[in-house]
Structure 1
Amino acid sequence: MKLLIVLLAVLLGVWLWRSRRVQDKRPTTAPPKVLQNMVPCQVCGVLLPQNEAVTTPHGVYCGPAHRKQAEQAPR
Structure 2
Amino acid sequence: MKYLLVLAVILVAVWLWRKARREELQSRTPPPPSPPPAPGAIAPPQAMLRCAHCGLHLPAADAVRGTDGAAYCSTAHRQAATH
Category of TM-score, reference length = shorter chain: 0.5 to 0.7
Letter in 2 for 1:47: H
Q: Which runs of 5+ in 1 are unaligned?
A: 1-27
Q: Number of aligned pairs? A: 46
The percent identity for this pair of structures is 36
Q: How does 1:1-75 map to 2 (within 5 A)?
A: 29-30=37-38, 31-58=41-68, 59-72=70-83
Structure 1 CA distance for aligned equivalents of residues 75 and 48 of structure 2: 18
Query: Could you list the runs of 5+ residues in structure 2 that have no partner in the other structure?
Result: 1-35
Structure 2 CA distance, aligned partners of 1:57 and 1:37? Answer: 20
Shift of 1:56: 1.9
- In 1, distance between residues paired with 2:76 and 2:56? 14
Amino acid at match of 2:80: Q
Per the normalisation by structure 1, the TM-score is: 0.53
